Chain A
Amino acid sequence: MAMGVSRTTSPAPAPPARADDRDPARLPIATADRAFEALGAACAILLGLVLVGVTAAVLLLARPSIARFGAAFVVGRTWDPVSGELGALPFLYGTAVTSAVALVLAVPVGLGVALFQSDLGPPALRRPIGVVVDLLAAIPSVVYGLWGALVLAPVLREIVEPALETYLGSLALFRGPKLGLGLLCAGLVLAIMILPTIATIAREVLRAVPTELREGGLALGATRWEVVRRIVLPHARSGITGAVLLGFGRAVGETMAVAMVVGSRAEIGSSLFAPGYTLSSVLANEFSHATSELHVAALAELGLILFVVSLAFNVGARLLVARAARRATSTTAMVAPR
Chain B
Amino acid sequence: MTTRTDRYVTRRISDKVASVLSAAAVVAALLPLVALLSYVAIRGFRALTPALFTELPAPATGGGGIANAVVGTVELVALASLMGIPVGVLAGLFLAEYRDSVLARAVRFCADVLAGIPSILVGVVVYATVVVGMKRFSGLAGAVSLAILMLPLVTRTTDELARTVPESLREAAIALGAPRWRIALQVILRTAAPGIRGGVMLAVARVCGETAPLLFTAFDNDFWTTSPLEPTSTMQVRIFFYTLSPRDDRHGQAWAAALVLVALVMILHAVSRRLSRDPRSSS
Contacts and interface: CB of A to CB of B under 8 A. Distances in A.
Interface of A: 25, 29-30, 32-33, 35-37, 39-41, 43-48, 50-51, 53-54, 57-58, 60-61, 108-113, 115-116, 120-121, 129, 132-136, 138-147, 149-151, 192, 195, 199, 223-226, 228-229, 246, 249, 252-256, 259-260, 280, 283-284, 287-288, 300, 303, 306-307, 310-311, 314-315, 318
Contact of A318 (B112, B119, B211, B266): B112
A120 B104 CA distance: 40
Contacts of B24: 112
A287 B113 contact: no
Contacts, number: 263
Given A40-B91, A43-B87, A58-B121, A109 B28 contact: yes
12 contacts: A36-B181, A40-B93, A40-B184, A47-B155, A50-B110, A51-B114, A54-B114, A120-B23, A256-B212, A303-B124, A307-B121, A311-B116
Contact of A132 (B29, B123, B243): B29
A141 B209 contact: yes
B107 A142 contact: no
Contact of B26 (A58, A116, A134): A116
B239 A39 contact: no
A228 to B, nearest CB: 7
A-B pairs with lowest CB-CB distance, top 10: A112-B25, A140-B209, A40-B94, A253-B118, A36-B181, A314-B116, A43-B91, A225-B18, A223-B15, A288-B216
B36 A143 contact: yes
Contacts of A252: 118
Given A136-B29, A139-B209, A140-B211, A307 B117 contact: yes
Most buried by B among A143, A226, A253, A260: A143
Most buried by B among A129, A199, A256: A256
Most buried by A among B25, B210, B236: B25
Given A51-B113, A318-B112, A141 B122 contact: no
B258 A143 contact: yes
Contacts of B14: 223, 225
A224 B122 contact: no
A40 B127 CA distance: 27
Contact of A120 (B22, B152, B177, B236): B22
Contact of B29 (A43, A195, A303): A195
Interface in B1-54: 11-12, 14-15, 17-19, 21-26, 28-30, 32-33, 35-37, 39-40
Q: Tell me if B's interface is mostly helix, strand, loop or mixed.
A: helix
Given A142-B209, A249-B116, A307-B121, A47 B151 contact: yes
Interface residues of B, number: 86
Nearest to B28: A109
Given A48-B110, A58-B121, A223-B14, A287 B216 contact: yes
Contact of B40 (A25, A143, A229, A253): A143
Nearest to A256: B211
Contacts of B128: 57, 60-61
Contacts of A110: 25, 29
Contact of A58 (B37, B124, B206): B124
Given A47-B111, A109-B29, A223 B39 contact: no
